[in-house]
Amino acid sequence: MIDSELQKRILSSIILLPITIFFIFKGSIFFIFFLSLIFLAVTYEWFNMSKNNELTRIFGIIFLFFSFFFAFYLRENFFNLFLLIIVVCIFTDIGGYVFGKVFKGLKLTKISPNKTYSGVIGSFLISLIAGLLYLNFPDNREILIEDPLKIFLLILFISFVSQLGDLIISYFKRNANLKDTGKILPGHGGFLDRIDGLIFAFPASYILTLIVESIY
């Protein structure tokens, strides 16, 4: 039997997914519009969550701006890498949620009480499978990196940063005595709850890719 919270999570995901796909693939103007709306929503959530620390609030807003800039830049110039990051982050969340629910086990940290070591393993495993399946399609293989081992490590890195981003946002939520950053997305919370991994993965993955390619 699926609990009510999971039902809400699935339903809102079914609604959000086609909308997101539409704006990503429709064109630059549509994507800018979509990205701007998400940026405003996320900035508002961060503004409320960090109201007790002005410096943290300002730094966070600056970071969000650059993160969204990286998202736009990647979408316009390295579309396959952009999609890979999204795929890996989505399945990082799914893997962590499913494995955590099914296998449970030791808690990972007090920062986010629902996180477990089994969830971490599930995040890496499911996101790795999803990322490799995505790159298995010929049109998706050009992502700046060609070496199979580097691609393998890049996927794991994206998943790691996504999970780290989740924990960082959880830390700030805990400091603000909040369970979620918002209530606009049933089953998920706020927009920041939904994309906390992505906002860290976009800049980190692109910078790492450039560094690896410049060295080798």
- Whether the full predicted model's pTM is greater than 0.85, yes or no, is yes
Question: Residue 71 has which token pair?
Answer: 């998202």
Average pLDDT over residues 60-77: 94
pLDDT at residue 117, as a whole number: 93
Contacts of 62 (CB under 8 A, 6+ apart): none
Question: Residue 78 has which token pair?
Answer: 């390295």
Could you report the per-residue pLDDT of 78-102, keeping only the tens digit for each? 898 899 999 999 999 999 988 998 8
Place of tokens 């293989």: 141
pLDDT at 1 over 60: no
Give burial (CB, 10 Å; 0-12/13-18/19+) of 72.
Answer: middle
Give burial (CB, 10 Å; 0-12/13-18/19+) of 71.
Answer: buried
Could you report the per-residue pLDDT of 186-195, keeping only the tens digit for each? 777 889 999 9
Separation between Cα atoms, residue 133 and residue 170, nearest integer Å = 30
pLDDT at residue 105, as a whole number: 83
Determine contact, residues 162/201, Cβ cutoff 8 Å. yes
Determine contact, residues 112/155, Cβ cutoff 8 Å. no
